[in-house]
Amino acid sequence: MQVLENSISVFLLLLVSLSLAFDLDSHPSFMLPVKVSRESRDLPLGLPLVINTWPWPGATQRAWDVLTTGNGSVVDAVVAGCSEAEKDPVIDSVGFGNHPDESGETTLDAMVIDGETRGIGAVADLRRIKEAVAVARAVMDHTQHTMLVGEAATKFAVAMGFQETSLSTDLSKQIHSNWTANNCQPNFWRNVTPDPRQSCGPYSPIKGPSSQPQSASESVSERNHDTIGMIAIDGDGKIAAGTSTNGAQFKIPGRVGDTAIPGSGAFVDAEVGAAAATGDGDVMMRFLPSMAAVEMLRGGVTPYNAAVEALARIARVFPDVKAGIVVAKKNGEFAGACYGFETFEYCVVEALTGQVQVIPVSCFSLSENKEPSLPRSISSIVAEIITAFGSIALSGIRHAVQLVGAVLDVAVCLFAFYTIYDFILHGGESTVLKLPAADKWEWKTIKEKVLSRCPQLEH
């Protein structure tokens, strides 16, 4: 009897151990290595990674090629990717030939951030030089400054070997001509006379309280969104970011947008990740959304929630703002979010597929009580499928083991019950176990042993 009892105990202990081992809720260490939570929408399965604002896959592919086949650094990659956008005539908000300022001239802003060295180079209001992001890199590589602006930035670029050339084209000249014929609408003036909402300048300031409310620019839209912001992460986790733009169309000459502002247009912290933003730069630079998002990553917030909150902070103060952002952790987890745009898309290429994906994003609203619909990369879908099937399989094994254990528990208790009945029927001698009465298997002893195993038989 003792041998049988010990064997059953050991067997039941083994079953319990197996059940606990496969208990996914109590032992998350047994889960598959890929876990997709509700907040972590886009989880690539490896590095390197390139991600940028807006559906410009040519720029994304160029950066990816430099990073993966050209033996280039992450800084090389973002400079090459943003340069590709600067040269693309289809992209009207980056590079030469579009978005003239009030005077009819196209000027450029750009920035490069090296996460490994914490180096930053930027140019703003750059004139007559097409390669804005390359000049920004030259500021980082060849000066102790962070930003150069205006004509002085052009002079620096020429000294670095860049060629001066007009940034205007027939298209940009026609755009400016049509704007002036339309009484210079829209524009960026306020609290001046004559009324900037009805006529062109020159303007003079109005003294006294403001009569023309300040708001986000009405000229910013998904077709006038001004910035490519790009992040590159290599296989070792090194990170860089780059930005480039020709700025807000019909801006006041001398204006510097958010693209060239560290922490606003982009930000990198080599310890945690990076972010790049786009939209109404005059409003966004007051909140440093890229830096805010990266700091939230440091605190353990997921990329998607960091992206949403970085923009929500702006939207709560300026509800008419239009803004988008992409965020990436050092491990390759990424997400995008937007507010105010009718549409927002970003491009990403990662190690899992090696193919550029254009991912649409449904912009969130502060009035919504539910989460917005979410972008889905191929990797996130694959990860969820693997996790789902793995969870189903392990859950099935767990429940099967639990069922077998329950059946055995019932069997043991029924056997014990019959043993008690057998002892009573045969005056203290078991015919089931063939134990003689001399072995002192008395009723009291049997009762104690059985009830210790099956307390439910007490009653």
66-100, pLDDT tens digit by residue? 999 978 999 999 999 999 999 998 898 999 989 99
- Residue 214 is predicted with a pLDDT of 54
How far lies 201's CA from each of 100, 125, 204, 216, 252, in Å? Answer: 16, 21, 8, 21, 11
Q: Could you tell me the CA-to-CA distances from 356 to 240, 369, 378 in Å, in that order?
A: 19, 33, 11
Q: Is 257 annotated as a binding residue?
A: yes
Task: Examine residue 197 and state whether it is found in any structural domain, yes or no.
Answer: no
**If you ran DSSP here, which 8-state letter would residue 432 be given?**
T
Question: Token pair for residue 53?
Answer: 């604002």
Q: How confident is the model at residue 182 (pLDDT cuts 50, 70, 90)?
A: very high
Is residue 109 a part of any domain in this protein? yes
- pLDDT above 70 for 40: no
- In the chain, pLDDT over 90 holds for what percent of residues? 63
**Which residue matches tokens 């703002």?**
321
Task: Name every residue whose Cβ is closer than 8 Å to that of residue 224 and which is 6 or more positions away in sequence.
Answer: 92, 93, 99, 248, 249
CA distance 97 to 124: 17
pLDDT at 110 over 90: yes
At residue 448, what are phi and psi to the nearest 5 degrees?
A: -65, -45
Contacts for 142 with CB less than 8 Å, ≥ 6 apart: 160
Rounded Cα distance between 325 and 344, Å, is 9
Q: Is 256 assigned a ligand-binding role in the annotation?
A: yes
The answer to whether 128 is a known ligand-binding residue is no
429 has pLDDT over 80: no
- 280 assigned ligand-binding residue: yes
Rounded Cα–Cα distance for residues 36 and 241 (Å): 26
Whole-prediction pTM: 0.72
d(CA 247, CA 103) in angstroms, rounded, equals 14
pLDDT band at 265 (very low <50, low <70, confident <90, very high): very high
Statement to judge: residues 238 and 97 lie in one domain: yes
Measured distance CA(16)–CA(389) in Å, rounded: 24
Contacts 24+ apart (CB under 8 A), 177-182: 179/250
Taking Cα atoms as reference points, which of 80, 56, 60 lies closest to residue 70? 80
d(CA 414, CA 403): 17
CATH of the domain at 317: 3.60.20.30
Q: Identify whether residues 371 and 391 lie together within a single domain.
A: no
The alpha carbon of 450 is separated from its chain's Cα centroid by a whole number of angstroms, namely 59
70 labeled part of a ligand binding site: no
Quote the pLDDT of residue 297. 98
State yes or no: cis peptide before 202, omega within 30 of 0: yes
The answer to whether residue 431 is catalytic is no
Same domain, 426 and 283: no
Of the three residues 318, 353, 375, the one that is the final residue of a domain is 375
pLDDT of the residue at 204? 96
Res. 226: pLDDT tops 70: no
- Domain count across the chain: 2
Find out whether 278 is annotated in a ligand binding site: yes
* 404 and 430 share one domain: yes
240 and 157 share one domain: yes
The answer to whether the annotation marks 137 as part of a ligand binding site is no
Q: Is 97 annotated as a binding residue?
A: no
Which of the following is catalytic: 106, 107, 227, 259?
227
Q: Which has the closest alpha carbon to 347: 57, 45, 11, 26? A: 57
∠ CA 329-330-336, rounded to 5°: 25
pLDDT in tens, 328-360: 999 999 999 999 998 899 999 999 889 999 999
433 lies in some domain? yes
Confidence of residue 14 (pLDDT cuts 50, 70, 90): very low
**Is the model's pLDDT at 6 over the cut of 60?**
no
Residue 227 is part of which domain span?
49-172+215-375
In this predicted structure, the answer to whether residue 374 has a pLDDT above a threshold of 60 is no
